[in-house]
Amino acid sequence: MRKTVTQHISNPEKFKQQLLNWSQQFDEVVWLDSNHYDDKFASFDAVLAVEAFTVFQTDYYNAFLQLKEYQSTTNDWIFGYLSYDLKNDVEALYSENFDGLNFPDIFFFQPKKLFFLKGHVLETQYLNFVSDTLEDDLKSITLNTASDLVGELQSKDATEDSKIRIKLRTHKDDYFKKVNDMLAHIHRGDIYEANFCQEFYAENTTINPLETYKQLNAISKPPFATFLRVYDKYLLSASPERYIKKEGQKITSQPIKGTAKRSLNVEEDERLKQELSEDIKERSENVMIVDLVRNDLSKTATKGSVKVEELCKVYTFNQVHQMISTVTSQVAKDTHPVDIIKTTFPMGSMTGAPKISAMQIIETLEDAKRGLYSGAVGYFSPDNDFDFNVVIRSILYNATNTYVSYSVGGAITAKSEPLKEYEECLIKAKAMREVLEN
């Protein structure tokens, strides 16, 4: 079905840039880059999937059942995304908030051309009927003149606005009021925790998606960076979070809850990291979501196989320190991969606990439809493995609507103080704002 070629790459970093530049000629693109982050669960350093042979996209209604059919019948690599609003397929929920982006609720495609980079080894997989272009494509990717020409063309398509004017969908006073409303729900016992998000946006704005992604990635260097293009819609993501991975019969989920800023002063930076590690509020947020993830994984796990491998471990990224836990389980061989996704979606770190009540309250208090934000991007492999990130720290762009958006959120618990929550949102938004206002 696919022709596979393996070769040595002398300069992987340079090749990654050439490969990403070359990909811009296609309408369907998924680029996943670990930025050499020390991730013991990673299968590849970088992956590129381009040019759809088959496509699956729909709204949320019966989406998981249709995805199951598409994944089973295709029996090949498929790449794409799950939007947050697929919650409406899993539970009796709805999404009626403002949507300036208009992404489909779910989109997957079977790529004609695939590139897997691990260390200095590149594995290229082309569907047989396009394999005659493989050698020519590899030459054009590595020719500097080709990548320079692409870069030159893109520079002419750069931002036309001299200054991007970012607006707040939820103004500061409204944010405080809404957090207090959320706290009232918590004190009443409706929920223990909820992830409350707000949108920042710019209208009538044209950006260069590739250059914007490159700048965002350079600032953050996250382990789950993504450049996604679906026709006129783009995701430029600097995500630090894995949603869920399946390798063989092992399932791994790594929720993030707990954020602290970085400092250029080494001693202060170490103190901030230590303070996050010992922060009772942040730890309790993380533990609540770990309990939720354990419960979600248990729905498909073999008996007694759900384990917490790491609890509240602090990891350091370019922009922030993050508290991450790792929860694993085992599934039976005949468990369908889409059922594992459906029973854990949306990820607990972006909802709250109890999950359904939290999602209901979120919908009434937030001012924008989340769409792809707090959804997931990733792939299914032909042998039923998968790996998906969490779409956070991301810029979303609809080129036709000339609408740019990024959202940030935080976990609200009984110990939350509205001002501190607002300040944490601004820390998370810093990289996106810097890139867009540059």
Q: Residues with catalytic annotation?
A: 241, 257
Report how far residue 373's alpha carbon sits from residue 370's, in angstroms, rounded to the nearest whole number: 5
Report how far residue 57's alpha carbon sits from residue 79's, in angstroms, rounded to the nearest whole number: 12
C-beta separation of 338 from 67 below 8 A: yes
Contacts of 27-30 with C-beta under 8 Å, sequence gap 24+, read 27/51, 27/52, 27/229, 27/230, 27/231, 28/52, 28/55, 28/109, 28/111, 28/229, 28/230, 28/231, 29/227, 29/228, 29/229, 30/79, 30/80, 30/111, 30/226, 30/227, 30/228, 30/377, 30/379
The HSE-up count of residue 359 (CA atoms within 13 Å, CB side) is: 23
C-beta separation of 70 from 108 below 8 A: yes
The HSE-up count of residue 175 (CA atoms within 13 Å, CB side) is: 24
Q: Which pair of tokens denotes residue 87?
A: 């919650």
